[in-house]
Structure 1
Amino acid sequence: MIASVGYEFALKEHYKESRSHFILSQDAPYGELLIPKGSLISRYDAFDNGEPQLPLSLRGLQAVRFPHPVQVAGMWVTAMEPPRMELAWDQQIGPVMRFDPNEENGYGKWVYDTKRPTITCSRGDIVLLEIPSIHYDIAKEFGKPEPDGPNARFRPSEWGVQQCEKGQGPIKVSPAYTGTAPKKPWFQPY
């Protein structure tokens, strides 16, 4: 009995890990972005309970390392970990945003920087982005997984650049899970 429970738990963990850290086997839409085949994906899905029949999903995307430079939010990048992007080469990027403490009755707000609409950043720099909240009906969606695929709330066209971070090193993306499913115990009491 204990061996059977241990096996079931290990099997569920195997399925969850294989869907949390993997290499994308085909191009996959995620909101406004088409993530190319061969991308290294790191994600966390609170709704993934380790069921074997669940398809791969990008829901809960945490980080991606692309197999080649990809354009995201008008920038050519090699990796992303929203709100951070790793630049593929030297670029002029924008629109630049700044925090204005006088907006919203003194609470402050991110606004477009009209005096400095773009900034120059170098290859390998990490670009920090301002990602606005996306409004949705929380009561209607409570207890349900967030949208995935082309319906995902991933809209780089709405993002603004805060700054370039130099010397931060590459974005770390967990390696693909390569484990094997656990062996079923030879003795099952039921």
Structure 2
Amino acid sequence: MIASVKYEFALEQHYKESRSHFVLSQDAQYGELLIPKGSLISRYDAFDNGEPQLPLSLRGLQAVRFPHPVQVAGMWVTAMEPPRMELAWDQQIGPVMRFDPNEENGYGKWVYDTKRPTITCSRGDIVLLEIPSIHYDIAKEFGKPEPDGPNARFRPSEWGVQQCEKGQEPIKVSPAYTGTKPKKLWYQL
């Protein structure tokens, strides 16, 4: 009995890991972004209970390393870990945002920087972004997985640049899971 429970747990963990750290086998739409085949994906899905058959999902996306430069929020990048992106080459990026402490009755708010609409950043720089909240009906969606695929709440067109961080380590994306499905012991068959 205990061996059977351990096997079931190991099997669930295997399925979860294989869907948490993987290489995309085909292009996949995630909100506004088409993530190309061959991208290394790290994600966490609180609703993944280790079922054996679940469709490809990017829900809970944490980080991506692309197989070639991809344009995200108007910037060419090699990796992203929102709110951070790693630039593929030198480029002028924007729109730039700044925090204005006088907005929102003294609470402050991120606003577009009209004096400095773009900044110049270098290849390998890590761009820090301001990602606004996307409003949704939390009561209606409570206890349900967030939307995925083209309906995902992933809208880089709404993001603004805070700054370029020079001399930072590249964005780390966990390697693809390469484990094998656990085998039942002879006395469990």
Q: CA shift at 1:44, angstroms? A: 0.2
Residue 185 of structure 1: CA displacement?
1.8
Deviations 1:37-84, CA, capped at 9 Å, x for gaps: 000000000000000011121000000000000000000000000000
Q: Note the alpha carbon deviations across 1:111-167, whole angstroms, 9 max, x for none.
A: 000000000000000000000000000000000000000000000000000000001
Which residue is equivalent to 1:48? 48
CA distance in 2, matches of 1:67, 1:53: 27
In 2, the alpha carbon distance for the partners of 1:58 and 1:168 equals 26
CA distance, structure 1, for counterparts of residue 162 and residue 185 of structure 2 = 54
Map of 2:144 onto structure 1: 144
Runs of 4+ in 1 over 6 A off after TM superposition: none
State the 1:28 CA deviation. 0.1
Equivalent runs, 1:64-83 vs 2, <5 Å? 64-83=64-83
Give the SS at the match of 1:79.
Answer: strand
Equivalent position SS for 2:78: strand
Instruction: Give the CA deviation at 1:169.
Output: 1.4
Question: Normalization by structure 2: what TM-score?
Answer: 0.99
- The percent of aligned pairs where both chains have the same amino acid is 95
The answer for the alignment partner of 2:160 in structure 1 is 160
Q: Does residue 127 in structure 1 map to residue 131 in structure 2?
A: no
Give me the whole-angstrom Cα distance separating, in 1, the residues matched to 2:34 and 2:53: 24
Q: Structure 2: give runs of 5+ residues left out of the alignment.
A: none
> Residues of 2 paired with 1:20 and 1:186: CA distance?
30
- Distance, in Å, in 2 between the alignment partners of 1:153 and 1:56 is 17
1:85 aligns to what? 85
RMSD: 0.4
Q: Secondary structure in 2 aligned to 1:105?
A: helix
Q: What's the secondary structure of 1:37's corresponding residue?
A: coil
Give distance in 2, aligned partners of 1:99 and 1:61: 27
- Provide the residue aligned with 2:5 in structure 1: 5
Alpha-carbon shift at residue 9 of structure 1 (Å): 0.2
Q: What is the deviation of 1:186?
A: 1.3
**Helix, strand or coil: the match of 1:22?**
strand
- For normalisation by structure 1, the TM-score amounts to 0.98
Shift of 1:107: 0.1
**Which secondary structure does the structure 2 equivalent of 1:13 belong to?**
helix
